Structure 1
Amino acid sequence: MEALLEVLERELMLAGRHSAMGPPGSACGPRALERSAYVLLSRLETEGPMSNGELAHAFRLDASTVHRQTGAMMRSGLVRRIPDPDGGMARKFSMTDEGARRLAEDRSRIRDGLAAALDGWTSKDIGRLTEMLTRFNASIEERDERPWPRAASGRERASAGGG
């Protein structure tokens, strides 16, 4: 088991260095999002407006770290502060149209890179890799008691009759 974990650790580290998968902003030009912005915008896209405290809890980060990140995102026009839609006291961050546009651009670039990297793989192999990565991430999220809200994937939507 130790040898398998050693290889897995190395392969996950190597996967993280490839620009096809991320981190966004690596050798992708001046308009590419920073990795933290990409991840925060993805969370806001999935979950909707969130406060600084909610973001800090979701990412297990200090509130001051999230404050710096969201401040930079506000200056870049990616997010804006809005009153809590549920009437709470804390203001929340909401993605702007510019944030949504830039997130979509980076996501498209990353997916194109993945498609190129997986050229020659069968749909079945890609499906198995996706299934195992989803299971791996869900195991970590369950252990940390911080699940990532997931929108239904194309496969899940298709099996539910949604297209």
Structure 2
Amino acid sequence: MPARREKGVPDNAIPVIAYQTLLLGRHRHGPALRPGGGAALERSAVILLSRIQVQGPMSIRRLSEAFGLDASTVNRQANSMIRAGLLVRMPDPDAGMARLLRLTPEGARRLAEERAANARSLGRVLAAWTPEDTAVFAEFLTRFNQDIEALSGRPWPDPAAAPRT
């Protein structure tokens, strides 16, 4: 039985998109493209730190739900970032003995550096693109991510709504 064809999706587009997203997932926009390299945060650290920065302090349980990961995996990643001085545990005012994870000033600084390096690297990749092509790519990439989030039931919070620390 042939796979169900979605409305408006050409049969030959899905394998190309699947392959290209595979390739996209293997690229690091940061250190490999940075002149002189430079120490970069691990991809998992950037994602976890970004989520906490956008949403505010979070528990291991809430982070594991947000990412669809086992709590032990998130805890292991968080402990590594605590040892590196990027996160700190703080009491959860609403949950007694529970703890929340919060970015340290060093964590916020390193995350900002990583984002700036990634943006510079992407700027190098897209340097020959027209402003129109870049804008359309940004629009489609945003839509693609939002559609994935809608299907998974785990939307990423809007950075414009990030709590001010």
TM-score if structure 1 supplies the norm length? 0.84
Aligned mate of 2:105, from 97, 108, 123:
97
How far, CA to CA, are the matches of 1:28 and 1:81 in structure 2?
31
Q: Which runs of 5+ in 2 are unaligned?
A: 1-9
- Superposition RMSD in Å: 2.0
Report the residue type matching 2:154 in the other structure: R
Name the structure 2 match of 1:12. Answer: 21
Name the structure 2 match of 1:151. Answer: 159
Determine helix, strand or coil for the equivalent of 1:80.
strand
| Residues 1:88 and 2:106 are matched in the alignment | no
Report the residue type matching 1:145 in the other structure: G
- Which one has the largest radius of gyration? 2
Deviation of 1:3 after TM superposition, in Å, equals 2.1
Name the structure 2 match of 1:161. Answer: none
Deviation of 1:17 after TM superposition, in Å, equals 2.4
Report the residue type matching 1:15 in the other structure: L
How far, CA to CA, are the matches of 2:29 and 2:60 in structure 1?
30
Determine helix, strand or coil for the equivalent of 2:129.
coil
How far, CA to CA, are the matches of 2:44 and 2:28 in structure 1?
15
Q: Verify the 8 A CA contact 2:30 2:40 in the aligned structure 1.
A: no
Identical aligned residues as a percent: 46
Q: Verify the 8 A CA contact 1:16 1:22 in the aligned structure 2.
A: no
Report the residue type matching 2:14 in the other structure: L
Name the structure 1 match of 2:77. Answer: 69
Name the structure 2 match of 1:36. Answer: 44
| Residues 1:49 and 2:57 are matched in the alignment | yes
How far, CA to CA, are the matches of 1:109 and 1:61 in structure 2?
27
Determine helix, strand or coil for the equivalent of 1:99.
helix
Tell which has more relative contact order, 1 or 2 (C-alpha 8 A, sep 6+).
Answer: 2
Aligned structure 1 segments of 4 or more residues deviating by more than 4 angstroms = none
How many residue pairs get aligned? The number is: 148
How far, CA to CA, are the matches of 2:25 and 2:151 in structure 1?
22
Aligned mate of 2:120, from 91, 109, 112:
112
How far, CA to CA, are the matches of 1:67 and 1:91 in structure 2?
12
- Relative to structure 1, is the Cα distance of residues 10 and 22 closer, same or farther in structure 2, using a 3 angstrom cutoff? farther
Deviation of 1:28 after TM superposition, in Å, equals 4.2
